[in-house]
Amino acid sequence: MKLLVKGGTVIDPANKLYQVADIFVSNGKISAVGQDIREIGAEVINAKGKLVMPGLIDMHVHLREPGLEAKETIATGTRAAAMGGFTGVACMPNTKPVVDNRALVEFVKTRAESGGVVNVYPIGAITKCSEGAELAEIGDMKQAGAVAVSDDGHPVMNAQVMRLAMQYARMFDLPVISHCEDLNLVAEGVMHEGYYSTVYGLKGITPAAEEIMVARDIMLAELTGARVHIAHVSTAGSVELIRMAKKKGIKVTAEATPHHFTLTDEAVGGYDTSTKVNPPLRDAVDVRAVKEGLRDGTIDVIATDHAPHTSEEKDVEYNYAPFGMVGLETAVGLAFKELVAPGILSVEELVRKMSCNPARILCLDKGRLDIGADADITIVDPELKETVDVNKFVSKGKNSPFDGWELSGLPVVTIVGGRIVMRDRRLIV
């Protein structure tokens, strides 16, 4: 199959390209990037006025399969990713059973190949069953195709276990993705501890619960020389700790989610359980700090932490609802609204944080529009506006607090390996 993406503004930070150009795709690979390419027999995509970029990669997604298919499946989750403009997702291992061995990594890859529509990169567990006690088979999982290890959803509370995990992961050049949360400080908290938790009558979670573990894992990264990636950074203190670690040359990277740079804890006021996330929505000072961390490069990646739940699970009292919201289908629009439009990030910097940097951290041969590279391409219309309607989400999860928001800067074409999977805001697979 031949494709010709015509007349778009091509943004390829890895190759320092930011200009109107054409991209010719043949046999799933990029064959040419340049001006006035003509190719007889190619399907033409008119990208005039649109932004053409390397395929976006979300390095923090919960696809829920195996075992929790009522919430999401690899088939539905990858289709939601395609709608959101993502050509690849890295899926967390907190499934049922937990992805903590070679067989389960291979299962995820097999299911993705048969039923998925974007690239799926399995993440293996740090510890067996993510219980924090005994290391999982890290080497085996790497050989089977795991791109990182994480106990996301659960912190590794034992510092010695985390130290050993980092030492082993370093042997295989795998990043350790850390869910930073001191469970003793969290206790029974359900939202950020502060003014609004008092007003709303809900138990709070202190920022220190995150920051203490960020500090610990930075120190362990320095001790072991391992690559550590801090998931879903949400507090000003965490941002500052990561900033200082980078100045020291410690191998630490970090991500922030759209909901943590968009919403504050005030949003919990309607007791909409889709605002119940872990870490919780923080106060305005923290939101400003996360945005500044994105602006100055302290935070390397924008990732969604897409966490679908069934309506039955979420339609309960706030205290009893599970943590998490979906994010794949709103991420790009929120990033344009909150970061690009106000001038916090340029479009080029946004592409780095949603394509180039995730690829680099996970050691993927992606995030570039090189000749001969896989034709993973995302096309965004910066002027297109759309009102979020959760009932139209492709994801099984409808748990989003952004229902009814008007967003602009939306993906209009998603191409995976030269195959168009989403076009004009419609799935075609």
Active site members: 305
What is d(CA 72, CA 62) in angstroms, rounded to the nearest whole number? 8
Strand partners, 90: 121
The partner residues of 427 in beta bridges, in order of sequence, read 422
Retrieve residue 170's tokens: 């370093």
Query: How is 101-153 classified by DSSP, letter by letter?
Result: SHHHHHHHHHHHHHH-SSEEEE-B-SBGGG-SSSB--HHHHHHHT---EE-TT
CA–CA distance, 89 with 118 (Å, rounded to integer): 7
Q: What is the 3-state secondary structure (H, E, C) of 311-369?
A: HHHHCCCHHHCCCCCCCCCCHHHHHHHHHHCCCCCCHHHHHHHHHHHHHHHCCCCCCCC
Taking the C-alpha atoms of residue 144 and residue 122, their distance in angstroms, rounded to an integer, is 9
- d(Cα 126, Cα 208) in Å, to the nearest integer? 23
225 φ/ψ angles, rounded to the nearest 5 degrees: 75, 10
Two structure tokens written together for 56: 């976006």
Asked if 66 and 95 touch (Cβ cutoff 8 Å), the reply is yes
> What is the amino acid identity at position 71?
K
Which DSSP helix (H) or strand (E) runs through 288?
helix 284-296
d(CA 368, CA 354): 12
Burial 367-406 (b: 16+ CB within 10 A, else e): bbbeeebbbbbbbbbeebebebebeebbbbbbbbbbbeee
27: alpha, beta or left? (left if phi > 0; alpha if psi -120 to 50): left
